[in-house]
Structure 1
Amino acid sequence: MKQLLPLTAAGLVLAACGGVPGNSVATVDGDPIKKADYEHWMTVVRKLSPDLKREQARDQVMNLLASLRWFDGEAERMDIALGDAEVTKAFSEQKRQSFPKDADYRTFLKTSGQTEADIRQRVRAALLATKIQERVVKGADKVPERAVADFYARNRARFSQPEKRDLRVVLTQKRGAAERARAALERGDSWKAVTKRYSIDDTSKASGGKLPAQAEGTLDAELDKAVFSARKGALAGPVKTQYGYYVFTVTAVVAPTQQTLAEARPAIRQTLVGERQQKALSTFMADFAKRWRARTQCAEDYRTSDCDNGPKPTATPTPRMQ
């Protein structure tokens, strides 16, 4: 609430018929949006975003004012109730979180040009938007077991882990240095000592040459081929790569794993629920914007893409007031 409270609702982008009265900028379902309200919010926008061009500020204010009416109308259509007590509780919680000191809140109102009624109106709209969204996605969490099983069958690789190998390596620039490093290891010198003396790879050198959990296909092609054909514990190399010459040993092999359907079920269900909720929201949002835009008429100098008699909406939404 340090800025204008957001009109949440997962981006419910908002938009009546008949003429617009002379003292109004628009009507939604025939209900006028007064010029006085428009000018008030234009003052707020100018205070918060003084660099905005007039047309951009106009579009944000018209979007806000139309949105407030759209949420009210949609909530009524869906028979969604919101009591004053809910609004007061949410307002108080947000105020306490954003402004522990009342003096800071008062300063915010003064500098932003808003009144407490403005903030409560935004809180109310946000609560309505949330309730609308909850109603829209209700039931989307019921995923048939067959859908879970089908998803698992199509995406088994997503629930598996490939074999991984822990390595110890020495990387040198010249083949001769790699051969000397290997000879030192064969004599019994420690990996820590050998990597410190010969390795040009600072990362593995800092850990005595350790290179853990390498999956096939993640290393340089020549090294990858050598690593995954090597026996555990055997010293191998030098192997020429684009980075230099490697001497290595495989210290551990972690076998590949495959989650069962039972193990993968929670993650799959979560994915499918998310997909179903998003589909429900997308379908609703398209219908919502179309219906309410058709009910919104704007005066000539105030026409935006939220108005039925305004420019055609584009894929890029009007910037929101922040």
Structure 2
Amino acid sequence: MIDKLKQVLSTPRGRLVAGILVVALAGAGVAFGVTRADDLPEDAAFRYGDRVVTTTQLDDRLEVLEALYGVKRPDDADKKDDFNRDSAKSMVVSLVLADAAAKRDIVISDKEAQTELDKLIDQQLTGGRDAFVEFLSTSGISERDVLDEIRAQLATSRLVDEVTADVPEATEAEAQKKYDDNEGDMVTPEGRQLVNVVVETRADADRVARLAGKSGKLSTLAATWSLDGSTKDDGGRLGLVTADQLEDGYGKIAFSAAAGEIFGPVKTSYGWNVGQVVEVVKARPVSFTDVKAEIIDRLSAEARLKVWRDFLAKELKGADVEYADGYLPDDPTAPPANSTPTPAADPPASGAPATETPAPTE
């Protein structure tokens, strides 16, 4: 159920804001107004402006992040101090973003957040409202916690839209230069048309492999055997996929097999799989025309990213933050070790569209 809710919060809008939050945390060179705490209450994690955030409040926030995004405290005692410091710093950044939105009169009402949540549940969460209620009952968080997260996402998204509204789109000439500078990397990676049958046990997978070996065709077995509801009625066809769209173990075997070969059984997080290579599509260079639009989008996003970082740097310079000793980051101005600016600065390696669903899936 946790995975299902992650899917709900990983809509295009959710992914956008998540990427922006990562960028917020990755603003190298930003100077916080940080002091060491000498007069904070004993149970404080940090003070932001006039607000003192206690360790209990920070823990409550981490429970929400664990339920929604799988953020967990490390078991290793040596890593817990770093986790506490990073968590406090991340919450500070979220508060800075919230204040920046409020300064621009960006307010998300409860009704708007509820409408967004209802839409996401209806359209993207298998099991609908009943499944969502079940998730809440087992996760230890409330619907209010989820609504608050959605409100924060919507507010940050609108803040970014306002801050970057006047950034011009990249030109075709800029895209051509980027292509020329990286022409050697402009290739479509090798792809494969695959058929896959996923079953629950190794014994079932062995039987499917034997039956497919006798007939030479795996697709005829999908409707009877496969647990993958999205492909079983289409002969188990996964479509054209690249190696990086597959789980490592499965992908290694699938891309080592010859055209027409049946491979497996191989275990993935979805079960036991038997696959067949229907077609091998070799890697090929792509022309500027193939990737022009993608490069323009990427360069435009990078320009917006720079403007956003500059804006955020200005906001953070004025942040009045006082950390308790156990929560003071070693270097408050450095990005967290696990954050990566989004979008990537590298040029696209392929003009081929990527599938949204990793394969094989259940």
TM-score norm. by structure 2 comes to 0.47
Q: Contact 1:143 / 1:269 at 8 angstroms: preserved in 2?
A: no
Match in the other structure for 1:301: 326
For residues 181 and 90 of structure 2, the distance between their equivalents in structure 1, rounded to whole angstroms, comes to: 44
Largest Rg, 1 or 2: 1
Secondary structure (helix, strand or coil) at the match of 2:302 reads helix
For residues 141 and 38 of structure 1, the distance between their equivalents in structure 2, rounded to whole angstroms, comes to: 39
Match in the other structure for 1:89: 115
Q: Structure 1's 107 and 58: CA in aligned 2 closer, same or farther, altered over 3 A?
A: farther
Match in the other structure for 2:81: 55
For residues 51 and 154 of structure 1, the distance between their equivalents in structure 2, rounded to whole angstroms, comes to: 42
Match in the other structure for 1:105: 132
Match in the other structure for 1:279: 303
Cα distance, 1:64 vs. partner? 4.5
Structure 1 residue ranges without an equivalent (≥5): 160-202, 207-212, 219-257
Match in the other structure for 1:31: 51
TM-score norm. by structure 1 comes to 0.51
Cα distance, 1:300 vs. partner? 1.8
Deviation larger for 92-101 or 65-74: 92-101
Secondary structure (helix, strand or coil) at the match of 1:13 reads helix
Superposition pairs of residues 92-241 of structure 1, within 5 angstroms:
92-96=118-122, 97-98=124-125, 100-144=127-171, 147=174
For residues 278 and 34 of structure 1, the distance between their equivalents in structure 2, rounded to whole angstroms, comes to: 37
For residues 12 and 153 of structure 1, the distance between their equivalents in structure 2, rounded to whole angstroms, comes to: 28
Measured against aligned partners, the alpha-carbon deviations of 1:271-309 in whole angstroms (never above 9, x if no partner) come to 23421321331353265257426432212222236xxxx
Cα distance, 1:69 vs. partner? 0.9
Q: Which amino acid aligns with 1:111?
A: T
For residues 95 and 58 of structure 1, the distance between their equivalents in structure 2, rounded to whole angstroms, comes to: 32
For residues 60 and 145 of structure 2, the distance between their equivalents in structure 1, rounded to whole angstroms, comes to: 10
Match in the other structure for 1:71: 97
For residues 301 and 281 of structure 1, the distance between their equivalents in structure 2, rounded to whole angstroms, comes to: 32
- How many residues in Structure 1 have an aligned counterpart in Structure 2? 226
Secondary structure (helix, strand or coil) at the match of 2:299 reads helix
Match in the other structure for 2:355: none
For residues 178 and 332 of structure 2, the distance between their equivalents in structure 1, rounded to whole angstroms, comes to: 43
Superposition pairs of residues 237-252 of structure 1, within 5 angstroms:
none
Match in the other structure for 2:191: none
Q: Structure 1's 123 and 63: CA in aligned 2 closer, same or farther, altered over 3 A?
A: farther
Q: Which amino acid aligns with 1:55?
A: D
For residues 274 and 108 of structure 1, the distance between their equivalents in structure 2, rounded to whole angstroms, comes to: 37
Cα distance, 1:46 vs. partner? 7.5
Measured against aligned partners, the alpha-carbon deviations of 1:232-286 in whole angstroms (never above 9, x if no partner) come to xxxxxxxxxxxxxxxxxxxxxxxxxx98x9xx4x953542342132133135326
Cα distance, 1:80 vs. partner? 3.4
Q: Which amino acid aligns with 1:316?
A: A
RMSD: 4.8
Q: Contact 2:23 / 2:309 at 8 angstroms: preserved in 1?
A: yes
For residues 159 and 148 of structure 2, the distance between their equivalents in structure 1, rounded to whole angstroms, comes to: 16
Q: Structure 1's 42 and 128: CA in aligned 2 closer, same or farther, altered over 3 A?
A: closer
For residues 171 and 313 of structure 2, the distance between their equivalents in structure 1, rounded to whole angstroms, comes to: 31
For residues 63 and 282 of structure 2, the distance between their equivalents in structure 1, rounded to whole angstroms, comes to: 60
Match in the other structure for 1:13: 24
Cα distance, 1:40 vs. partner? 2.0
Q: Which amino acid aligns with 1:300?
A: D
Match in the other structure for 1:253: none
Secondary structure (helix, strand or coil) at the match of 1:114 reads coil
Structure 2 residue ranges without an equivalent (≥5): 26-31, 187-257, 262-280, 341-362
Q: Percent identity?
A: 15
Q: Which amino acid aligns with 1:40?
A: D
Q: Contact 1:87 / 1:120 at 8 angstroms: preserved in 2?
A: yes
